[in-house]
Amino acid sequence: MDDVVLGSVTEFLKRVPPFQFLSEEQLRQLARRIEVHYFPRGSALIRRGERPPDYLWVVVRGGVKKTLRSATGEEHIFEVASEGDLVGVLSSVNGLEGQLDDIAIEDTVCYAIPRAVVQELIATEPAVARFFLGALREWVRTSLTALERQEETGDGSLLLSAPCRSVARQPLLTCTPETSVREAARRMSAERVNSIVVVDAQGVGIGIVTDWDLRERVIALGRTLETPVREVMSTPLVTIDADQLLLEAVRLMIGRRINHLVVTEEGRPLGMLTAFDLLVQQGTSALFLARAIDRETRTERLAYVLEQAQRQLLPFLLSRGIRASEIAQLLSEVNDRVIARVLVLLEQELGPPPVPYCWLVFGSEGRREQTIRTDQDNGIVYSDPPAGQEELVRSYFLRLGQWAVERLVALGFPPCPGRYSADNPDWVMPVDEWKRRFRAWMAVPEPQSVLSSLIVFDFRGVHGELALATELRSYVRQELAHSPRFLFHVAAISTAHPPPLGFLGRFVVERSGEHKNQLDLKIGGTGAIVNLVRLFALEHGIEETNTLARLLALREARVIESQLADDLAQAFEFLLGLRVRVQLEQLRRGERPSNFVDPRQLSSLDRTLLKEAFRVIGRTQAVVRERFHLEQAGE
Amino acid sequence: MSEQNGWLTRLSGLVRQLGFEADSRRLLEIRYTVLDTEMTGLNVERDELLALGAIRMVGTRILVSERFYSLIRPSARRWGASVPIHGIRPIDVAEAPELSTVLPEFLAFSAGTVFVGHGVEVDRLFLERAASRQGLRLPRALWIDTGRVARWLASHHGTFAEAAADRGRFSLEELLTAYDIEPPARHHALADAFVTAQLWQRLLSELINERIETLRDLRLVGLC
């Protein structure tokens, strides 16, 4: 019985994703099973914390705001769903209880699709499933809502800060290297898992066979099913200790571009952790993001992904109690992926590079300490070109640098005001020239070159031939060993800015100007610690660039006594976190993020900790001054 | 105050005399059959049903899965005057089932529900007449007229004089415009039932705001 009602419902739904993927007949079947709901202005479709609603709603008329009230009673509106938008996706797809308050902002009519129907569509229509499970929109929503829920309940199962043990699936399916593909596949399907771990005679995991391996390395290559798994397995087996945080697992999966991790306990395989497990656990945010980056073939679209990372992932993780330094590392994985993606796309446009090269990032990017994207500091090192080819090769990389920087700017990585970027020929050089530059800096230290070196010496290879970066790194280490005069200058600069803490432990704030009554969290704060720790690291040949990693290495090498190392690490962590919180607040208010904060607007706890952090910095600077026989700076 | 109480007591006494039980069923939980009919004309003695459309509601939820629609082949052959209104020509119903088939199906569809329609009195009269022609009786049921409800709500909001003065404002057409409801088609029994259902969603919400929450409440203010 076809009729006007079904017709009008179908007509509407066929314009709405994901239903537009359905055939006319499927749409008609769907339309037959919907309900029409009406929500007067101010009424709730979903209430936070209440049991999952029985429907997925498509807004036909009106609008629905998705909001949360913070502890202070302030309302945050995450999104407004209007005609053609969906409400209740999370609940209908994942069966989660209400995550946000979804309130009609005007009299609203919705088509309501019963949850069972949604589930059925997901099970039978891959396009619909992809839309629901993979769409970035959902990623955002998932992240935000999971965060809020856990913040509320305060339970210990915060996904990313829970140990891998809590999610690892057991028991682990294992086989020997000689097992046939046929047998391995049979056991995988019997156990309904998509991977099997290959272990040697001692029970040590040596590789893994996943559905992907079977498809790509057996079926696609036409191999027989009697092939032993050792010939098709993926190696090495990537493992993670059961006590490591899931955050670490996510980072590993992103970094290695894998979906399976074997969770080990004291070296023995304990269970399997898959990207899907994380998905189920709502911890997919970062993974989804990484996948989205790898899928994007157009640079512009990456901007959206990055925007999400900054706007959503960062506050999300921060409010979950994840440390700022860890968030920064996670975001640097994301940024690295974007940079690599941009370069891969450019290599396709410009043709393959004439010689191997490595994309370097400097400064906070090099240290993996960037949270809010500030500016891009980068350069290119390439293999020494064959004789006669120098100019040709140089012009290729100059163009690559120029274009890459432009694209990154378009993606929201602000240009570097100091021009420490790969669109500046000064930072696009063959290995040999880099070394000469470094040697010159160290031999004849001048204020400008020492300043440059501070930024550049935190370099890290991101894309291309990473060995080139490693080569430069060990060169720096060797040269520094006999450049005491250079280190003296580094020490002078590193202690030039005392923390803004005055007589009797009062904060020293700006007396006038744009930042009147505010103090700088960077110059005498995070920046001061970075400088001090870098000084020690350079002096003692430590190749790490990340401040906390440097501190750990310095502590283990007994260069810095453990108490001071811990104090510095805590001070750094606190300052970094405070800075991010302040900047997020500035962004939220539509201001440009700065490093300034008015201490009177901080909580008393933050003020106390801030003073404590500044005191640690002051103490360390005093130690350095004494060691290098420097005069007290300033004042 | 006491006068008003007296009025209410008398009214509820009257209601009981009329044979209705005190009904505490909640308006937001009741199953409704929202219906519309098309006829050969408006004379209940002479004219006949041409089409019957209905859709189910449970509270404010409209269930698209539960629809009823049928054209009906009347015994008369000519109804030229009403064709421009509903667009149903004799040839359109030449193959349609007769009332004797359609009516029992409709009664099964609507069994145990409360009827809702716009100007539903006319629909009720035609259905009763049709039933009696078949030797059937419509089961006793409650009938809610969305037109009257809208008028009552308007008067309750202090615009009774206006409401009384301008009955045209409460035509289905006007109300759909006022409530921003888009009709998929007009003067089609199912389409009209569908938009009437959407109108009832809104009126129902407004009734709840006025603390009219049960059938008894609705009856006390004379709306069913």
Q: Give the residue numbers spanning the domain of B45.
A: 35-220
Residues 6+ apart with CB under 8 A from B76: B40, B48
Confidence band, pLDDT 50/70/90 cuts, at residue A275: low
Fold of A487-627: Four Helix Bundle (Hemerythrin (Met), subunit A) (1.20.120)
With cut-offs at 50, 70 and 90, classify the pLDDT of residue A4.
Answer: confident
CATH 3.30.70.20 corresponds to the domain A164-281: no
pLDDT at A124: 83
Contacts of B220 (CB under 8 A, 6+ apart): B8, B11, B12, B15
Q: Which two tokens stand for residue A634?
A: 């300033």
Compute CA distances A144 → A44, A75, A95, A284, B204, whole Å. Answer: 19, 14, 16, 12, 35
Asked if the Cβ–Cβ distance from A4 to B185 is below 8 Å, we say yes
- Domain assignment present for residue B93? The answer is yes
- Best mutation target, A38, A39, A45, A54, to test chain B (most B CBs within 10 A): A38
| Facing residue for B63 by CB, picked from A35, A38, A40 | A35
Q: How confident is the model at residue A141 (pLDDT cuts 50, 70, 90)?
A: very low
Enter the tokens of residue A149. 């829920």
Please count the CA atoms within 13 angstroms of the CA of A483 that sit on its side-chain side: 25
The Cα B69–Cα A516 span in angstroms is: 74
Strand B114-117 vs strand B31-39: parallel, antiparallel, or unpaired?
A: parallel
In the structure, what pLDDT confidence band is assigned to residue A568 with cuts at 50, 70 and 90? very high
Taking contacts as CB-CB distances below 8 angstroms, the residues of chain B near A37 are 60-62, 201
B111 domain residue, yes or no: yes
Chain A contact for B56, CB < 8 A?
no
Spatial neighbors of A479 by CB under 8 A, at least 6 apart, are: A438, A439, A442
User: Taking the CB of residue A26, how many other CB atoms lie within 10 A of it?
Assistant: 17
Alpha helices of A109-180 — where are they, by DSSP H? Answer: 115-124, 126-134, 136-153
CB nearest to B60's CB, from A5, A9, A37: A37
Q: How far apart are the C-alpha atoms of A593 and A312, rounded to whole Å?
A: 16
Which residues of A fall within a CB distance of 8 Å from B191?
4-5
Q: Answer whether B149 touches A (CB < 8 Å).
A: no
Contact B69 A3 (CB under 8 A): yes
Query: What confidence category does residue B15 fall into, taking pLDDT thresholds of 50, 70 and 90?
Result: low
pLDDT (0 to 100) of residue A139: 41
The number of C-beta contacts closer than 8 angstroms across A and B is 63
Among A36, A37, A43, A61, the residue to mutate for chain B (most B Cβ within 10 A): A36
The helix (H) or strand (E) run that includes residue A45 is strand A44-46
Tell me which chain B residue has its CA closest to the CA of residue A32: B65
Best CA proximity match to A307, nearest among A76, A134, A136: A136
| pLDDT for residue A137 is more than 50 | no
Contact B202 A7 (CB under 8 A): no
How sure is the predictor about A34, in pLDDT bands with cuts at 50, 70 and 90? very high
Minimum-distance CB partner of B67 among A3, A40, A112: A3
Domain assignment present for B10: no
As a whole number, mean pLDDT of residues A55-82 equals 72
Domain A4-134 has CATH 2.60.120.10: yes
- For the segment A448-473, the average pLDDT, to the nearest whole number, is 93
Task: Find the CB nearest B184 among A7, A33, A35.
Answer: A7
**CATH code of the domain containing B59:** 3.30.420.10
pLDDT at A620 exceeding the cut of 60: yes
> Among partner residues B64, B190, B202, which is closest to A35 by beta-carbon distance?
B64
Identify whether B29 is part of a domain: no
Of A3, A38, A61, the CB nearest to B60: A38
Give domain status of residue B11, yes or no: no
Binary contact (B55, A5; C-beta < 8 A)? yes
In a domain, B12, yes or no: no
* Contact call for A107 and B201, based on CB within 8 A: no
Which of these, A330, A303, A277, A265, lies nearest to A168 by C-alpha position?
A277
Contact by Cβ (8 Å): A339, A359: yes
Q: A242-256, A335-349, B25-39, B124-138: which has the highest mean pLDDT? A: B25-39
Domains in chain B, number:
1
More confident residue, A486 or B185: A486
The reply to whether ipTM tops 0.85 is no
Would the CB atoms of B67 and A5 count as touching at under 8 Å?
yes
